[in-house]
Amino acid sequence: MVARQNGAVAGPITFAHRGARAVLPENTLPAFRRALDEGASGLESDAWVAGDGEVVLVHDPVVRAGLARLRVEREPSGRLVRHGIPRLVELYRELGSDFELSLDLKGPHAGTAVVEVARRHGDPARLWLCTPDLAELQRLRASAPDVRLVHSQRRRRIEDPLERHAARLKELGVDAMNMHHTEWTAGIVALFHRFDVRAFAWDAQEVRQLRAVLDMRIDAVYCDRPDRMVATVSEWTS
């Protein structure tokens, strides 16, 4: 089992990617509830600021509503809710905050808006804000010391050598590095751990993929099948 770091939960976090999206519509309250019922210790989604300033959970910038195409950043959240897109505040109201929550930040103001909602209705200490933008992470660390920050980026797009990059993340106060599961090795995980930066692996869908990154001592996995993910992690930890 992965040791507790910086006061966060011990053991690999099991993030249900967009909820239980393999069996229910993604980024919906039923999908999130199903993931928690199946034992996921965390939920993952995408956060946009709608036209009325509310944070909504949806992946794409444009969604279809019958024949119409709705641009998320322009539409009031009430209209988006009618098409199955939940507000972040509704996630907290319906499901509470007794879980880790990983949110991919979409748009320039999403981070600040998400933190405000979490402080009023959730648990900022269990909030993991993900973005490839290091400058945004630096701004968020200055304004939100109570949340977790994640640099989410493909390895080929990291310009510095990985050791230098890990050192930079530590300097910026970033808590975790999130890369595709195929981009991690045991040595790279150990490298980031040397700098007290957690290692997160996304898109680990199959049991063999989950076992591979768990054997590397990864700190969190993202999967579309929370039942499979939870069972595999439970087997590994025992």
pTM over 0.85: yes
Alpha helices by DSSP H, listed for 96-149, are: 110-121, 134-143
CA atoms of 169 and 86, how far apart (whole Å): 32
Compute CA 83 distance to the chain's CA centroid, rounded to the nearest angstrom: 23
Residues of the chain with pLDDT below 50 are: 1-9
| Annotated domain spans of the chain | 13-48+85-237
pLDDT of residue 1: 30
pLDDT of residue 98: 97
- Return all residues near 201 (Cβ < 8 A) that are at least 6 apart: 178, 179, 180, 181, 184, 213, 218, 220, 221, 222
pLDDT of residue 65: 81
pLDDT of residue 10: 55
Q: Percent of the chain scored above 70 by pLDDT?
A: 96
CA atoms of 74 and 227, how far apart (whole Å): 36
pLDDT of residue 66: 81
Domain range 13-48+85-237, CATH architecture: Alpha-Beta Barrel (3.20)
pLDDT of residue 107: 87
Strands, DSSP E only, in the chain? 13-17, 42-49, 55-57, 62-65, 68-71, 100-105, 127-131, 148-152, 176-180, 198-202, 220-223
User: Do residues 87 and 79 touch, judged by C-beta distance below 8 A?
Assistant: no
Helices 88-95 and 110-121: crossing angle in degrees, nearest 10, is: 30
pLDDT in tens, 184-231: 999 999 999 999 999 999 999 999 999 999 999 999 999 999 999 999
pLDDT of residue 23: 93
